[in-house]
Structure 1
Amino acid sequence: MKQLEIFVERIILASRWLLVVFYIGLAIALMLYAVSFGVKLWKFATHITSSDEAEAILDMLGLIDAALVASLVVMVIISGYENFVSKFDEEDKVHWLGEIDANSLKIKVASTIVAISSIHLLQIFLNVDKYTGEKLMWYTIIHIAFVVSALFLAFIDRVTAMTKALNKQKQQEAPKL
């Protein structure tokens, strides 16, 4: 029976390598998105002299939005691989990787989503005449939902960290028997 247990545990541990397919898929999607970014950048560069200020700002916000989305994908790929699959062999070249655990990744992802949502909302407000009042209200409510969710995640992370620190302190102060 113990051999069966060991076999099952090895399969379960090996299954983490299936995540590599998702991370490679995200890297391919990121390459395709880079092409899309290049097209947007080219369009912006070739039309900059014929664009008015509001149009130029909207185009730049679109580029910023794309950069944030790309950064989010990179965060998920690198942190996910490091946290769930395997540590990178060249730790000295990517020393900052160890600083991104699953909890901090959630906070960074939530913050990035709020930033992306903020940019979209700003783009909508710069084109306010193209939207009905009801649509503006719903876009704003959705954005507020993202903000509140990110705040709750940050709050939960903070409470968890404080609880861990308090438990660690209690363990250190406990009399040794």
Structure 2
Amino acid sequence: MKDSKTNLLEQKLENFIFWSRWIQVPLYLGLVVAQCAYVWAFLKELWHLVHDLNAMGETQIMLIVLGLIDVVMLSNLIIMVVIGGYETFVSKLDLHGHEDVPEWLSHVNAGVLKVKLATALISISGIHLLKSFINATQMDTKTLISQTVIHLVFLVTAVGLAYVDRLMLPVNAKAH
């Protein structure tokens, strides 16, 4: 049988370990700063597109627009990591009744977050692959094959994560 000193020490240790989740907050704040850097990069590239539009060909415009889409998708990925990660691992967000709460936030957990992140990575990888195919004449075959294989690995990984998450569904449902 445990004595009261052991119980008190164990309780303090458990409280400290539980408190340690707050150490992640600077990481999430750092990602918000990184997102600001992406907003700046987006605005610079958008200015470049608008300013030099008359001098560009269709392919060059398409590549810049794909780059802009890439930045937006990466920004969406950052938002998912920051909001979903904070909600899952640090503290519940007190947003009840807020009209702008994203739909996915109501059922976020580590499994859902992994699948959403994998899907976002596939989309970003697909944009990069499309840009490479558009510039295929300026790239070597080995690079194109490598990028395609990497994209396929992302795809297989996402399907695997979704499958495992689906397998875990009955277990998660029983736990709640």
TM over 0.5: yes
Match of 1:117 in 2: 125
Match of 2:32 in 1: 27
Q: Give the residue type in structure 2 aligned to 1:15.
A: S
1:65 to 61, 70, 94: 70
Gaps of 5+ in 2: 1-5
1:102 to 92, 100, 110: 110
Map of 1:22-171 to 2, 5 A cutoff? 22-93=27-98, 94=101, 96=103, 97-162=105-170, 164=172, 168=174
CA distance in 1, matches of 2:54, 2:149: 36
CA distance in 1, matches of 2:171, 2:12: 36
Q: Give the residue type in structure 1 aligned to 2:157.
A: S
Q: Give the residue type in structure 1 aligned to 2:20.
A: S
Of stretches 117-126 and 31-40 in structure 1, the one that deviates more from structure 2 is: 31-40
Of stretches 63-72 and 129-138 in structure 1, the one that deviates more from structure 2 is: 129-138
Q: Give 3-state SS (helix, strand or coil) of 2:52's partner.
A: helix
Of stretches 115-124 and 45-54 in structure 1, the one that deviates more from structure 2 is: 45-54
Match of 1:172 in 2: none
Give the CA deviation at 1:44.
1.1
Aligned residues: 167
Give the CA deviation at 1:157.
1.2
Give the CA deviation at 1:76.
0.5
Give the CA deviation at 1:162.
4.4
Equivalent pairs: percent with the same residue? 38
Q: Give the residue type in structure 1 aligned to 2:169.
A: A
Gaps of 5+ in 1: 169-177
Give the CA deviation at 1:153.
0.8
CA distance in 2, matches of 1:102, 1:49: 47
Runs (4+) of structure 1 moved beyond 6 Å? none
TM-score, normalised via structure 2 length: 0.90
TM-score, normalised via structure 1 length: 0.89
